[in-house]
A and B are shown apart, each in its own frame.
Chain A
Amino acid sequence: DVKVTQSSRYLVKRTGEKVFLECVQDMDHENMFWYRQDPGLGLRLIYFSYDVKMKEKGDIPEGYSVSREKKERFSLILESASTNQTSMYLCASSSVAGAGTQYFGPGTRLTVL
């Protein structure tokens, strides 16, 4: 069974802190994605990666960076958290062959105080 896991379900951080969100998939997928989901705005793509050490900016990359050192792991980094980064963060993965089928992790609800 396909599985995408995220390091935390809930996270509370203070403004200015560096925040790491981790995502691991066990399906040997090439593609991995980070989204944030906010009411009324839907899913917005922050960054995606189509291979180890490869990354591309999505629609809203400002204030975020990513790291993909291993195929199964994709990390999202908030260099200096701000209150407007309070959101639900969802990681997803897909294979090149089945690119339309993205498998999502359970999400991390991040609150920045």
Chain B
Amino acid sequence: RKEVEQDPGPFNVPEGATVAFNCTYSNSASQSFFWYRQDCRKEPKLLMSVYSSGNEDGRFTAQLNRASQYISLLIRDSKLSDSATYLCAVDTGTASKLTFGTGTRLQVTL
């Protein structure tokens, strides 16, 4: 089983739609979780951290389910500019290393 798994997509959604991605992780000792966004031919950038109680940043909501070992990202009212690949990242429990998922591609269309 991969350490961090994501559905590669693509998820094709119309503007205004709500879309959710999940990411499962295998290391039950992981404590820190993140979502990164990567635009085509660009570097990944931190979108948001995922806190135990769940957290929201505008149209984006991140949640953690420790029992089932997954994190989720919900995007409401999708915009064309949300089209990107979303990478989840989980700490490895060692130093400051993260393990990244392979990413889920989102395409928002008119």
Contacts and interface: CB of A to CB of B under 8 A. Distances in A.
Contact of A107 (B43, B45, B97, B101): B43
The size bracket of the interface on B is: 20 to 34
Interface string A19-61: 0000000000001010000001111010010100000101000
Interface of B: 8, 32, 34, 42-46, 49, 87, 89, 91, 95-103
Interface residues of A, number: 22
B87 A42 contact: yes
A75 interface: no
A90 B97 contact: no
B98 A100 contact: yes
Nearest to A40: B102
Residue from A90, A101, A107 whose CB has the most chain B CB atoms within 10 Å: A101
Nearest to B45: A104
25 contacts: A31-B95, A33-B97, A40-B102, A42-B100, A42-B102, A45-B97, A45-B99, A50-B95, A50-B96, A58-B97, A90-B43, A94-B96, A99-B91, A99-B95, A100-B32, A100-B46, A100-B96, A100-B98, A101-B34, A101-B46, A102-B44, A102-B46, A105-B43, A106-B42, A107-B43
